[in-house]
Structure 1
Amino acid sequence: MPHWIALTLATGLLTAPTPQPGRQGDFAEAAREYGVPVSVLLGVSYLQSRWDDHAGQPSVSGGYGPMHLVDGGAAVPEGHHHDGDPRGDDARPMHLPTTPQSPAGSAEVPEDTLGEAARVSGIGAGRLRRDPAANIRGGAALLASYRGRPGGAPADWYDAVVRYAGSRGFADEVFALMRAGAARRTDDGSLVRLAAAPGAVPPARPMRKAASPAECPTSLDCEWMPAAFRKFGKKKDYGNHDRLNRPRRVDYIVIHDTEGSYAGVPSMVGNPRYVSWHYTIRSRDGHVAQHVRNRDIAWHAGNWDINSRSIGIEHEGYLARGGTWYTEAMYRSSARLVKHLASVYKVPLDRAHIIGHDNVPGTTPSTVPGMHEDPGPYWDWARYFALMDAPLKPAGKGESIIIRPDFDEHREHYTGCSSKRPARACPSQGSASVWLRTAPREDAPLVDDIGKRVGKDSTYSVYDHSARASTGQRFAVAGREGEWTAIWYLGQRAWFHNPPSAPTAIPAAGPLVTPVKDRVRVYGRAYPEKSAYAGSRSRFQRHVPLNYVIRRGQSYSTGLTLTGTYHRADSIHPARHDTVKGRLRYHQIQLGHRVMFVRAEDVRLVR
């Protein structure tokens, strides 16, 4: 324990005020004990954990408790997130290396703040992990050790906050939060408040040496970490993205998780034989790295049509590693980035355009089972859209609904979080998805996805979204019975529990499509008709229907109508690329958990 802290405690220099109850009192007591302004302590904790303990589970970056004390010794093996063909182009298939590039050593590896906090506070590491009050004390002691002396105005603690998480961007966001204030009920039932302090302004700091070339809003801590773009192999193949010499249309922003730590990102994105994405966001502080220019096509979604019209954002994390949690700092940075990109590219802020990797359709029936499931049911879509100033709100009493459970209170049963015991139930925590059943009762079987699990029943695994609808997705109502609501889902009625006392959906308005013939085929790509290729250097891309059909009397929400295009990119030189534009029109529909496409001539649009 630092000498000045011990002396302060021994002499009673810090007098105790009237104790406050619950977690609010834990913050007040820790702030008094170590001479940290309580607003600073609350601000740092909120940006890490939203003042929650998460039942002692670590975050995706190994942080524990309300103060997100990182256990630097708990190394997590790197995953291999991008299996299959992330490029997703039949005309130029891509096969990944058998094993991913091993992550190189990186200065980005977080410090062992749990060990540091144990040293300066005298509290054992085990207790810091499992006892939220002790964790708050450990975080306060760590901040105090960085500052070097107690007391002072919040602005005097700015450099200590920078050191705590490792970036100025994090510290700036902490002070912005202190100015705005916050209040919420934490996972122990306590009501915690951070009073707004409009005067909480960080100290003036020298201007940065050079502006970052990254395409980010100025308010974000953002760096340029370029992806590899060079030839390799005897056939002069190249990777790991396609550059364009003109602006491109962007219809989607695709949300991924890395299934690995941020430390492994430089080596993976820097490997021309691997894959690429546009941005990565670090968990502990929300730091952003851009790898591919937004005008260029990254190989991230497994569907070339979606890749050519999207921006991909990876978030440091693991879909199912013990049901771990994402930090508030990550959510806020990501929301700010997506809001900025949506404004630049005129992308609507809704779940038809801001999609997860798990919402991207397969290209052909053979690719559907292998399409990815991230970011999974533990990504809080409702909070994410609220941070983008686009909250999910009820709209009218139309023939559709938006899935919208209360994330904190909605605790569904999942399995698959433990690789050693995949049948074991995942730790209980908030969820953004609802289970879909064949009948309006809890014991009814889950609906099946004939494309994802061919010939097999759906499961409760976090890796199986066959029978799940996710927050923000809009579906056409197919029936109501008691506390249950049915939606049209993958060509069938699918029921979910939607009690008035704890609703899991809200009424919505918006266009629907309904078939004009009995069997309407569904596609994973919106490609042009054959005649559009006449005079082009591109070979006709066949229209391969997926496993699903929709029938008369069914309805599906649509969020995008477009004309088919195909961009041929088989050369490192953008001038040799070719874009085919057709006349065949498609509607994007929310068919199941994934979006898909139907030909406009096969359906009737109902507004």
Structure 2
Amino acid sequence: MGNNGSTRAGRKPSGRPSRKKPADGVSRRALLIGGGAVAAAGTAAVLARDQVKRLWWQVPGVEKPRKPGELDYAGATWVAASEANWRRADRPDDFPIDRVIIHVTQGSFASAVKVFQDPAHQAATHYIVGQDGRVVQMIRELDVAYQAGNRSFNERAVGIEHEGFVDRPKDLTKAMYASSARLTASICARHGIPIDREHIIGHVEVPGTDHTDPGPHWDWDRYMELVRRAATAPPSPTPSASAKA
């Protein structure tokens, strides 16, 4: 060719990497769509495996190993709630536990235990703490207690009732605060829950609730400090029941 002409071989390299040509009869878009389908199938498989993991113990003839009266907290005594007041689960494998919910019974310790054993009540918490510091566990932490009036929070939280009335500050005793703080610190340690007010909340703070507990007299600053101290203290198998404040 003449001086003004050029050949493809004589051009400067553009610096752009060459693109591989798709296989005959297959467009690049089709390859991308196919890759997306493979990724989607992989995601579906992961979700399916996760669902199986959550529900394996519900298969007929298969049951998650349990021992009657087994405690999650060594300082508690076991008293079973009615099975109508909680749902069998496999937490934290099926639902992560990331909240502790603080309740007040609006009644005596004995009346709270009795109510949680009543199938018609349709509600209960995992633990009850008395004014003298005693603790009963009524539902395993791995199970879902009907406690918050909010399904999501029921599934993610461990609930603790406290003996007394929200409008009677004298009901919130020194022994109760100390015992409950040890219990909450233990729950947080077992499940990796941060010790802060985002993760340790009152029933009143649950979205959609019409409850007001633990009420205006619950001393959150005092309680959170006790929980932090308990979290760093040597483990104590049995909470002490000191005199009322």
With the shorter chain as reference, the TM-score category is 0.5 to 0.7
Which letter maps to 1:301? A
- Verify: 1:380 aligned to 2:182, yes or no: no
Please give the alpha-carbon distance, in whole angstroms, between the structure 2 residues aligned to 1:331 and 1:310: 19
Distance 1:226 1:388 in 2: 26
User: Cα deviations across residues 7-46 of structure 1 (Å, max 9, x unaligned)?
Assistant: xxxxxxxxxxxxxxxxxxxxxxxxxxxxxxxxxxxxxxxx
Quick check: 1:273 aligned with 2:112?
A: no
Shift in Å at residue 267 of structure 1?
A: 1.7
Do the aligned partners of 1:281 and 1:288 also contact (CA within 8 Å) in 2?
yes
Greater fraction strand: 1
Q: Distance in 2 between matches of 1:335 and 1:373?
A: 20
Contact 2:203–2:213, Cα closer than 8 Å, also in 1: yes
Matched residue SS, 2:101: strand
The structure-2 alpha-carbon separation of the partners of 1:301 and 1:385, relative to structure 1 and needing over 3 Å to count, comes to same
Q: Secondary structure at the match of 2:160?
A: strand
TM-score, length basis structure 2: 0.62
Distance in 1 (CA, whole Å) between partners of 2:159 and 2:102 is 6
Assess if the C-alpha contact under 8 Å between 1:349 and 1:390 holds in 2: no
Q: Identity percentage over the alignment?
A: 42
**Which whole-Å deviations, capped at 9, do the CAs of 1:290-331 have from their partners, x for residues lacking one?**
01100100001111111110011000010014x434111111
AA aligned to 1:380 is D
Is 1:329 the counterpart of 2:183? The answer is: no
TM-score (norm 1): 0.25
Gaps of 5+ in 1: 1-211, 230-238, 363-367, 392-607
> Residues 372 and 281 (structure 1 numbering): CA distance in 2 closer, same or farther, change over 3 Å?
same
Kept in 2: contact 1:280–1:315 (CA 8 A): yes
Extract unaligned runs of 5+ from structure 2.
1-68, 231-245
Distance 1:246 1:311, change over 3 A: closer
Which aligned runs of 4 or more in structure 1 are off by greater than 3 angstroms?
245-248
Q: What's the offset of the Cα at 1:280? A: 0.1
The code of the aligned residue for 1:346 comes to: G
- The higher radius of gyration belongs to 2
Counterpart contact for 1:253–1:354, Cα < 8 Å = yes
Q: CA deviation at 1:266?
A: 2.7
Separation of aligned partners in 1, 2:91 and 2:207: 27
SS at match of 2:148: coil
After superposition, what is the alpha-carbon deviation per residue over 1:233-270, rounded to whole angstroms, capped at 9, x for unaligned?
xxxxxx11100145331111000000000121232111
**Equivalent pairs, count:** 159
Distance in 2, matches of 1:372 and 1:318, equals: 13
Is 1:317 aligned to residue 164 of structure 2? yes
1:245-284 superposed matches below 5 A? 245=90, 247=92, 248-274=95-121, 275-283=123-131
CA distance in 2, matches of 1:259, 1:214: 25
1:292 & 1:360 partners in 2: Cα distance? Answer: 20
1:388 alignment partner, SS class: helix
For 1:246 and 1:373, how far apart are their aligned partners in 2?
Answer: 27
Query: 1:276 is aligned with what amino acid?
Result: A
Deviation per CA, 1:530-550, whole angstroms, max 9, x where unpaired? xxxxxxxxxxxxxxxxxxxxx
List aligned pairs for 1:20-99, cutoff 5 A. none
| Counterpart contact for 2:91–2:97, Cα < 8 Å | no
Q: Which residue of 1 aligns with 2:56?
A: none
Q: Report the Cα offset of residue 381 of structure 1.
A: 1.0
Which residue does 1:213 correspond to in 2?
70
Residue aligning to 1:575: none
Supply the AA of the counterpart residue of 2:89.
Answer: L
Q: Assess, with a 3 A threshold, how the Cα gap between structure 1 residues 328 and 304 changes in structure 2: closer, same or farther.
A: same
1:241 corresponding residue in structure 2 = 86
Work out the CA distance in 2 between the residues paired with 1:250 and 1:339: 14
Q: Distance in 1 between matches of 2:85 and 2:203?
A: 19
**Residue 358 of structure 1 pairs with residue 212 of structure 2:** no
CA–CA distance in 2 between the matches of 1:390 and 1:301? 27
